């Protein structure tokens, strides 16, 4: 009789635990997929903002390539993150003080690995010619480059790309500066526009920007479930940047972001399964305390 009572309690506890897990599946196993955004290309496999990194992102199943642009001395749009070439090439100097011919003589991949010593700083035109229409391109106008010249050139290039048959929705623009985005929208109103944020905006800003801004790209440490719900209610898509670890992926999935901008190997996991399995493992450890 005592043994039967113990078995009953074990069965009852197991039933309760399974019920809790099943009722929580919507929380630990998110309903929707997220957009996988390669931060400066697939930097886990190739040097950032190079054609090699962009090819790797395309081949490894990312949905979007994020890249950065600056204006050269001779007023051409080049793809590089920093305002200087010092960190990612074998040269020195500011991008704006160097011509395209000078910039493209630099080794833009040797710092990463000698295998990439032939990589050059790409022109945005080269990137558009190679990748537009094959994968979504998310082009960030870097702080310090918000001049009418770069906005005008970018609008012209993207319009030409659309005229060649690429849908506007596959060419996205983002910036930290709302003024820059408004200038771009005046010249090219049909492209998805995103505001990059280090902190959430308030409800008044959210309401004011919604006619021009379609997505918000926010540092992951400043995202909350309530903010995401409010923003999505106003029609914004939410991107989180820059995610590195599996636990960060899990956190963003549970919060319900629409896209994850990442630059590490962990991004290649199917992280919604990771989130579920991690929760299952934690639950399994709890059950062991009762039954083992």
The domain ranges of the chain are: 31-290
What Å distances lie between residue 4 and 8, 65, 287, 292, CA to CA? 6, 60, 19, 17
Q: Is the pTM of this model over 0.75?
A: yes
In words, the CATH class of domain 31-290 is alpha beta
User: In the numeric block, which tokens belong to residue 3?
Assistant: 């043994």
Q: Are 121 and 79 in contact (CB under 8 A)?
A: yes
Question: At 19, is the pLDDT very low, low, confident or very high (cuts 50, 70, 90)?
Answer: low
Residues marked as catalytic:
39, 81
User: What sign does the dihedral 22-221-228-58 (CA atoms) show?
Assistant: negative
Element (H, E) at 173: strand 171-175
Structure confidence by residue, pLDDT tens digits, 70-102: 999 999 999 999 999 999 999 999 999 999 999
Which of 212-216, 249-253, 266-270 has the highest average model confidence (pLDDT)? 212-216
Measured distance CA(46)–CA(36) in Å, rounded: 17
The residue ranking higher by pLDDT, 245 or 48, is 48
Burial bucket for residue 226 (CB in 10 Å: 0-12, 13-18, 19+): exposed
pLDDT of residue 267: 44
Structure confidence by residue, pLDDT tens digits, 141-163: 987 766 899 999 999 999 999 99
């Amino acid at each position: 009789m005592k043994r039967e009572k113990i078995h009953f309690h074990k069965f009852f506890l197991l039933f309760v635990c399974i019920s809790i897990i099943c009722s929580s599946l919507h929380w630990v196993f998110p309903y929707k997929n997220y957009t996988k955004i390669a931060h400066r290309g697939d930097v886990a496999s190739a040097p950032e903002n190079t054609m090699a990194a962009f090819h790797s992102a395309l081949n490894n199943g990312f949905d979007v390539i994020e890249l950065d642009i600056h204006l050269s001395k001779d007023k051409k749009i080049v793809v590089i993150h920093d305002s200087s070439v010092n960190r990612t090439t074998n040269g020195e100097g500011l991008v704006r003080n160097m011509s395209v011919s000078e910039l493209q003589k630099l080794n833009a991949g040797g710092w990463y690995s000698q295998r990439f010593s032939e990589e050059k700083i790409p022109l945005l035109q080269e990137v558009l010619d190679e990748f537009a229409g094959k994968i979504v391109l998310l082009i960030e106008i870097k702080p310090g480059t918000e001049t009418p010249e770069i906005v005008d050139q970018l609008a012209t290039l993207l319009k030409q790309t659309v005229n060649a048959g690429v849908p506007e929705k596959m060419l996205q623009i983002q910036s930290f500066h709302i003024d820059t985005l408004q200038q771009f929208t005046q010249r090219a109103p049909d492209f998805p526009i995103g505001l990059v944020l280090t902190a959430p905006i308030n409800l008044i800003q959210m309401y004011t920007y919604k006619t021009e801004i379609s997505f918000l790209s926010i540092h992951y440490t400043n995202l909350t479930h309530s903010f995401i719900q409010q923003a999505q209610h106003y029609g914004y898509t939410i991107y989180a940047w820059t995610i590195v670890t599996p636990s960060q992926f899990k956190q963003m999935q549970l919060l319900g972001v629409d896209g994850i901008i990442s630059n590490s190997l962990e991004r290649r996991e199917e992280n919604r399964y990771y989130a579920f399995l991690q929760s299952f493992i934690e639950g399994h450890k709890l059950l062991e305390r009762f039954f083992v």
